[in-house]
Structure 1
Amino acid sequence: MKQFVNLIIFCFVLLSSARAQLTTQQKNEAVDSVVKLMNERYTFPETAKKIEQFLRNQQSANAYDTINDGNSFAAKLTADIRSICSDKHVNIRYSAEALPVSRGNILQISEEEKKGYAEFLRLENYGVTKLEVLKGNIGYIDFKFLCGTEYAGDFYAAMMNYVQHTDALIIDFRKCGGAMSDNVIPFLCSYFFADKTHLNDLYWREGNFTQQTWTQVVVPGKKYLNKPVYILTSNRTFSGAEEMAYDLKNLKRATIIGEVTGGGANPGGSVNVTEHFSMFLPVGRAINPITKTNWEGVGVQPDTVIKSRLALHKAQLLAMQYGLQTTTNNFWKDELKRLIAEHETQAPQLTKVTFRVKGYVTAKHIAVAGGFNDWSTTAATMKRTGNEWVVETEAEPGKHLYKFVVDGEWILDPANKQKAWENGYENSVVVVK
């Protein structure tokens, strides 16, 4: 079974972001290699030809001549390719250090890299940021990514057994960027079906074959059957996380609550472009057995559309209301009534906030990204008004870190002197009342 990486391009390899001057030859070699790889492996051959033509036209128009640093050139190539295919999985990355040779073999990594990869996953708790039982006996699992069962199978089994006795389960994919293996989704979904169930198909261009995905009849521990499952989404929910939401929604096994997801349905992996450039190259595409299509470019449509920051509160309310309707225990019924009444008074309050940045008259796209929108670069896109860019968004009361994203470059707010460091990055600060 092929393995694909949908979230992190060999995330345990630390790539330097130091700026370095590129030569014309280096840029031409990168374009040539990208064109070759797209034509040979991209899941849509006809689109690859269109991308080749566009990149050649860009070269002829000297569009890359003034771009001299690696990160900016990688961002420009990515934007140019996406302008033709709109495939958010496609991503060119630059490393000031020479890339490991093994990265040239897509979908495979060396034994040495596997050890580092396994350690990274352990340190990241296999993508699970929170596991708890909420009031009303509701299980809650918060993922920032999903990883393969060869690394996390025992951990995920223990996780599912921990929530076994809850009356409903909330899976939070609002910050989940995808899955790093094609075996994790059928493994987790297997807990929700008694019988073997057809989840999804993956078409791979190499070999021209379709791989079916089914649930398992037997799982470690007990299955989570005949109880409601809610999946929370945002516009940052992407790739493998979208697949699990899409599969369970169409099988009517989960209720999706939140925002329309990112729209990435073409799996692939990282491959070397040149010695210093790598590329996430989609080499397959999902085909759902029920809809006969997928969520590429359109995202997964929630059953209940609501701002992502309100999704958890809404899911908890629905889960407790379901429990109230189904329980036969009078004591628990009274307790749920009390919890529901209390919960309805605790809905997150959002306040309108306006952000402005002056100048940048030649910029094509500016957005504000911060903790209030899960650092999304698309949720709060600014509009140019005269000599400034403006956007009105919403945030919960309190202190929030943020930055402006100007044509892909993250900058501090030049008009705001309040700053704070977090996770090694300096950010601007806004206090919402």
Structure 2
Amino acid sequence: MQSRTKKLTAAVAVLLAAAGAGLAWQQGMAQTGPPQKDMRLDATMRQDVVTQLSAQMQRHYVDEAKAKQLAQALQARLQQGDFDRITSAQKLAETLTEAMQQQLHDKHLEVRYFEKAISEDTGQDQTQEDQARDLVEWQRFNFGFAGLSRLRGNIGYLDLRQFGRPEFVAGRIDAAMTLLADTQALIIDLRHNEGGDPDSVMLLASYLFDQPTHLNDIVWPRDNHRTDARWTTAQVPGKRYGQSRPVYLLTSEDTFSAGEDFAMALKDTGRATLVGEVTGGGAHPGDRRRLTAHFMMNVPAGLSVSPVTHTDWEGVGVKPDIEVSEKKALDVAQVEILKRLIAAEKDADWQQRLKRRLAELD
């Protein structure tokens, strides 16, 4: 569990995370630049962090009963002295994260330590200096767009590692879909996609449908079960890919959060075929909450519900249509696509070329 947490934290810190009530850490939480200097803690500091964590959980967590149980368990451990030997701020954040995830099995639960003091107004905009530094870091990773190409057989391929904020990625999505517009099928690689902004999930999905389509609902149990319906848009800025051509999504156990949101929505609507491994299983959207001057946590507060199955993927992941190891997923997807293209192709010469490519892969 701890290795998974560290991996997720590193990925989110390197790329941008979700905005608003996103499916991962908010963009302002991204830690960039040199490693932080650790802080030495005393008993009062540890108690303040645990007490505030318990309060935030009971106030905001998606499951009120489970939040109460967790708060009681952490307070008991605090009284028993389980945390007394932890003098490192970074170690306390890791320990609390592991404890929460082990008890509730919710991978969006996370505590982070920040060397730089956190404003009491956690909704406050970042300073211009912080914004500029983060923007440079995100640009280095192209906001999650890791690769785009045309595979043999005229199959489009998009390697997407993150769903960045719409204001940063809308142009990239448009450019990508323009370059892929004349392909006969499309593969979107989500095997290393660990989350991001749900609004960008809707934006990319909008290119793959011919008309507005209901993707999912986000339900907020602690807010009188308020429901936010999430649909694709009637129009897109550029050229729509449409829904007549095959779309395949590649998944792995590292596919997480918004990556799973995209995969489940396209699977449930019948728009895409999933190939690979069962995904990570993080479906609860949430928000950042300040604990103390140097500690922040992510508190999952919502339920992502499919309008088709009326379930989500929390704790179980999204099951692919074709389950294979993530290393074989790209080849398997190409084989499946080529078979479909060959069966429908009327040009004898192109059909033979597709068959030769299939023979190389099959």
TM-score by length of 2: 0.88
CA contact (8 A) 2:23 2:283 kept: no
Q: Secondary structure at the match of 1:48?
A: helix
The code of the aligned residue for 2:260 comes to E
Deviations 1:212-232 (A, max 9, x none): 100111112222220111111
Q: What is the aligned partner in structure 2 of residue 43 from structure 1?
A: 62
State the shift of 1:3 in Å. Answer: 4.5
CA distance in 2 between counterparts of 1:328 and 1:31 reads: 67
Q: What is the aligned partner in structure 2 of residue 4 from structure 1?
A: 22
Q: What is the aligned partner in structure 1 of residue 116 from structure 2?
A: 98
State the shift of 1:124 in Å. Answer: 1.8
State the shift of 1:67 in Å. Answer: 1.7
Question: In the superposition, relative to structure 1, how do residues 313 and 260 fare at CA in structure 2: closer, same or farther (>3 Å)?
Answer: same
State the shift of 1:53 in Å. Answer: 0.8
CA contact (8 A) 1:256 1:304 kept: yes
Question: In the superposition, relative to structure 1, how do residues 260 and 155 fare at CA in structure 2: closer, same or farther (>3 Å)?
Answer: same
* Corresponding residue to 1:212 among 217, 226, 229: 229
Q: What is the aligned partner in structure 2 of residue 416 from structure 1?
A: none
Q: Secondary structure at the match of 2:112?
A: strand
The code of the aligned residue for 2:212 comes to K
CA contact (8 A) 2:251 2:274 kept: yes
Question: In the superposition, relative to structure 1, how do residues 77 and 267 fare at CA in structure 2: closer, same or farther (>3 Å)?
Answer: same
CA distance in 2 between counterparts of 1:84 and 1:206 reads: 21
Question: In the superposition, relative to structure 1, how do residues 220 and 116 fare at CA in structure 2: closer, same or farther (>3 Å)?
Answer: same
Q: What is the aligned partner in structure 2 of residue 84 from structure 1?
A: 103
For the pair 1:57 / 2:80, whether they are aligned, the reply is no
State the shift of 1:73 in Å. Answer: 1.4
Q: Secondary structure at the match of 2:216?
A: strand
Q: What is the aligned partner in structure 1 of residue 200 from structure 2?
A: 184
CA distance in 2 between counterparts of 1:334 and 1:7 reads: 49
CA distance in 2 between counterparts of 1:75 and 1:286 reads: 26
For the pair 1:153 / 2:170, whether they are aligned, the reply is yes
Deviations 1:259-309 (A, max 9, x none): 110000011233322112121221222111111110000000010111111
- Percent identity of the aligned residues? 33
Q: What is the aligned partner in structure 2 of residue 259 from structure 1?
A: 277
CA distance in 1 between counterparts of 2:73 and 2:222 reads: 24
Q: What is the aligned partner in structure 2 of residue 419 from structure 1?
A: none
Deviations 1:20-66 (A, max 9, x none): 32111110010011011111111222211111111011112211111
Q: Secondary structure at the match of 2:198?
A: coil
CA distance in 1 between counterparts of 2:135 and 2:237 reads: 21
For the pair 1:198 / 2:198, whether they are aligned, the reply is no
Q: Secondary structure at the match of 1:272?
A: strand
Matches within 5 A, 1:258-337: 258-337=276-355
The code of the aligned residue for 2:220 comes to W
For the pair 1:126 / 2:146, whether they are aligned, the reply is no
Greater strand fraction, Structure 1 or Structure 2:
1
Question: In the superposition, relative to structure 1, how do residues 70 and 153 fare at CA in structure 2: closer, same or farther (>3 Å)?
Answer: same
CA contact (8 A) 1:102 1:109 kept: no
Q: Secondary structure at the match of 1:192?
A: coil
The code of the aligned residue for 2:327 comes to R
The code of the aligned residue for 1:134 comes to L
Q: Secondary structure at the match of 2:159?
A: strand
Question: In the superposition, relative to structure 1, how do residues 132 and 102 fare at CA in structure 2: closer, same or farther (>3 Å)?
Answer: farther
Q: What is the aligned partner in structure 2 of residue 25 from structure 1?
A: 44
What is the number of residues matched between the two proteins? 341
CA distance in 1 between counterparts of 2:286 and 2:120 reads: 16
CA distance in 2 between counterparts of 1:115 and 1:33 reads: 31
CA contact (8 A) 2:335 2:361 kept: yes
State the shift of 1:111 in Å. Answer: 6.1
CA distance in 2 between counterparts of 1:268 and 1:19 reads: 27
CA distance in 2 between counterparts of 1:201 and 1:268 reads: 14
State the shift of 1:329 in Å. Answer: 1.0
Q: Which structure has more RCO (C-alpha within 8 Å, separation ≥ 6)?
A: 2
The code of the aligned residue for 1:127 comes to G
Question: In the superposition, relative to structure 1, how do residues 19 and 57 fare at CA in structure 2: closer, same or farther (>3 Å)?
Answer: same
CA contact (8 A) 1:74 1:92 kept: yes
CA contact (8 A) 2:281 2:318 kept: yes
CA distance in 1 between counterparts of 2:324 and 2:103 reads: 31
The code of the aligned residue for 2:347 comes to N
Q: Secondary structure at the match of 2:335?
A: helix
The code of the aligned residue for 2:207 comes to Y
CA distance in 2 between counterparts of 1:164 and 1:251 reads: 21
CA contact (8 A) 1:190 1:216 kept: yes
TM-score by length of 1: 0.74
State the shift of 1:104 in Å. Answer: 2.4
Q: Secondary structure at the match of 1:71?
A: helix
Question: In the superposition, relative to structure 1, how do residues 268 and 174 fare at CA in structure 2: closer, same or farther (>3 Å)?
Answer: same
Q: What is the aligned partner in structure 1 of residue 252 from structure 2?
A: 234
CA distance in 2 between counterparts of 1:133 and 1:75 reads: 42
Greater helix fraction, Structure 1 or Structure 2:
2
For the pair 1:166 / 2:183, whether they are aligned, the reply is yes
Q: Answer with 1 or 2: which has the greater Rg.
A: 1
Q: Secondary structure at the match of 2:86?
A: coil
CA distance in 2 between counterparts of 1:81 and 1:339 reads: 49
Q: What is the aligned partner in structure 1 of residue 263 from structure 2?
A: 245
Question: In the superposition, relative to structure 1, how do residues 336 and 103 fare at CA in structure 2: closer, same or farther (>3 Å)?
Answer: farther
